[in-house]
Structure 1
Amino acid sequence: MIDFSKQLSKYMPEPAAPIISAWINDTHCQFRISKSRRTKLGDYAAPHRGEPHKISVNHDLNPYAFLITTIHEFAHLKTWQQYKNKVKPHGTEWKANYKQLMSPFLKLNIFPADILTAIVQYMDNPAASSCTDLNLYRTLRKYDERPTPIATVESIPENSIFAIKGGRVFRKGEKLRKRYKCLELSTQRVYLFHPIAEVFPA
C-alpha cells in the first residue's frame, strides 16, 4: 500500500489527504493530477481491457474545489462498481454515493463556513458538475489563489457590448429564466449565455 497523503496534501486540505489516499489504494485507481482543462474539472474512466479505474483532477483548482471534484469522481467509481453501465451517470445511485462519500469530510472541519453551507445545499440534489450550481461555484471561486480578472455576463449592465474568447462580439440582453439573451453583432443571431460565462471588453 502506497501512502499518497503527502502528494495529495499539496492540492487539497491536509486532513482530507489520508482518506483519499486510502480510496486510491482500496480501489486500485490510477489517480492523475491533470493540466488545466477548460471543459471539465475532473474525469472518471471505468476499467477497460485490463486497465484500472482512472480519475484525473485539474491541478489548478483551489484546495476545496480539488477535493470536491475528487469526491465527485470517486462517486462515479463507486457507482460503476455497484451497477456497471446500467444506471445514468448522474442518476439517483450516483447522487446517493456522492452524499455518502462526502459525509466524512463534513465532520473534519476543513471547509470554511460559506463553502460548508453551499455544499450542504448542493447535496440536496447534486448536479453533473459543481459548476452548474451557481451558489457553490461562486463560493468556491472566492478561494481561488488568483481570481481571474474577467467579468461575467451577469455582472455587466444590460446592453453592454462584450467579447468572448475567440473574438466574437455580443450585446447583452434580457434574462430569460436562467440565461441571458445576447445578440452577436456580426450575424445578428441571438444566443443564450450562462450567467457566469466569462466575458472580455470588446
Structure 2
Amino acid sequence: MLTVWGRRNSINVIKVLWGLTELGLPCERIDAGMAFGRVNDPDYRALNPNGRVPTLVDGDYVLWESNAILRYLCMRHGGAKGLALYPADPGARASVDRWLDWQLSTLSPAERGLFWGMVRTPPEKRDMAQVRAAMQAAAECWAILEAQLARHGGPYVEGAAFTLADIALGAYARRWFGEEVRIEGMPEFPALRAWYERLGEHEGFRLWLGPRLT
C-alpha cells in the first residue's frame, strides 16, 4: 500500500492525489502539515528532512517533492497509463519535464501572493496592493501557457495527450480561476479557460480540486 503524508488542502499533496487517481492507484493518506502538525516530529523528519508535505512511502522507499513523486508513480506503478502521463520518448518526456520545472521555478512563486493574500488572509488584513502585484505576476505566467495552447490548439498542454504537465499546472489554474481569488482587472485567457474546463472532466480534478480553496 502506498502512503501519502500530507494535508488535504496542500496544492502539492493535491497534485499527487490527482496523479494517483489518474493511475487508478489506491493509497493511505495521513494528515500532516499546518493545523495537523507532525512535520517537525523526529519520525517525520527522518522521512522528509525538509519538514514539508507531501512525502510518499512505498514499502521501504521514501520520496519527497511532489513532481518527483508524480514521475516515480508513473514509472514504477503506472504501466500503460503511466507512459501516457509521462511518455518514454525523450523529446516528449523532456517537454513534460519543462512544464513541471516551470511550475516550480516560475509559476508557483509568482502566484503565491495572490493565493495567500486572498484565501489565507482575512479580508480585513489583506494588502490589496501586494495582491494586485501578485495577480499581475501570475497573469504574465499564464499568458505564456495561453500562447502555448493557442499555438497548437490543445486540448492539453502538450497537445493531444493529457500528461503530468496538465496535472501540475491544472492544480494552479484552479487557484487562478477559482472564485476565492477573483479580483477586478484579472485578464481573460480564452484558450486557458477552455483547457481548464476540459480538466474539470477528469475525476481526479473533480475529486481533489472541486472543494472550496482553504
TM normalised by structure 1 equals 0.26
Higher strand content, 1 or 2: 1
- Which protein has the larger Cα radius of gyration, Structure 1 or Structure 2? 1
